[in-house]
Amino acid sequence: MIQLNDRYFEVFIKEAELQEEVSSLANKINSDYHGKDVLFLAVLNGSFMFASDLVKQINGNCEISFVKVSSYSGTISSGRVDELIGLTSSVENRHVIVLEDIVDSGLTIDKIVSLLKADNPLSVKVCTLLFKPEAFKGKQHPEYIGFSIPNSFVVGYGLDYDEKGRNLKEIYQLKEV
Ligand code: IMP
Ligand code: MG
């Protein structure tokens, strides 16, 4: 068990399980996009560790860029999403894969995908490490999902609780008291 600020968290997904699932996602992408160039857009801050491990296992020519939307603080999703920032080149005629740490309500990813589609990409798909089916109310269902998890708060492997815990190698779940 670990403590981050005022809350306690327990190990939920171990490092080896995470790495195995990341490899499996990379293998699926390698086979689905065989012979195609992919532009990966990783959503900051939470997806930095997932994106880094995943793209190391991509075989074809690819590019990676980082985009950012509104921040998320505390343990309840605010549902508030700002503009997409950090996108420096056009996605027109590109195969785009958006990399997310977690899709919760799905509002963030809906906003990102609709902004990207306005720029006429060849395709846009979403690859998320974690997915909370019970919380999801979005239009854009992720095509690639690492783990479907219960509707509870998780940290580690890039994900934060009030900016703490991003450095952890494993995913931890909030311990309800
Ligand atoms: P959305 O509700 O799908 O729009 O989720 C937006 C963002 O909230 C995600 O990209 C995460 O950064 C953050 N988030 C959602 N659930 C969790 C969680 O359990 N732990 C940490 N961050 C979360
Ligand atoms: Mg995020």
Q: pLDDT in tens for each of the 177 residues of the chain? A: 999 999 999 999 999 999 999 999 999 999 999 999 999 999 999 999 999 999 999 999 999 999 997 544 455 565 554 578 888 889 999 999 999 999 999 999 999 999 999 999 999 999 999 999 999 999 999 999 999 999 999 999 999 999 999 999 999 999 987
Supply the pLDDT for residue 69: 78
Q: Using a 6 Å cutoff on CB, does residue 103 contact ligand 1?
A: yes
* DSSP state string for the chain: -EEETTEEEEEEE-HHHHHHHHHHHHHHHHHHTTT--EEEEEEETTTHHHHHHHHTT--S-EEEEEEE-----SSS--------B---S--TT-EEEEEEEEESSSHHHHHHHHHHHTT--SEEEEEEEEE-TTT---SS--SEEEEE--SS-EEBTTB-BTTBSTT-SSEEEE---
Domain ranges of the chain: 18-28+36-152
Q: Using a 6 Å cutoff on CB, does residue 72 contact ligand 1?
A: yes
Active site residue 160: no
Supply the pLDDT for residue 74: 52
Q: Which of 101, 102, 163, 174 is the pocket-test mutation for ligand 1 (most atoms within 8 Å of CB)?
A: 102
Fold of 18-28+36-152: Rossmann fold (3.40.50)
Q: Which of 104, 105, 139 is the pocket-test mutation for ligand 1 (most atoms within 8 Å of CB)?
A: 104
Atom of ligand 1 nearest to the CA of 45: 12
Ligand 1 centroid, distance to 91 Cα (angstroms): 25
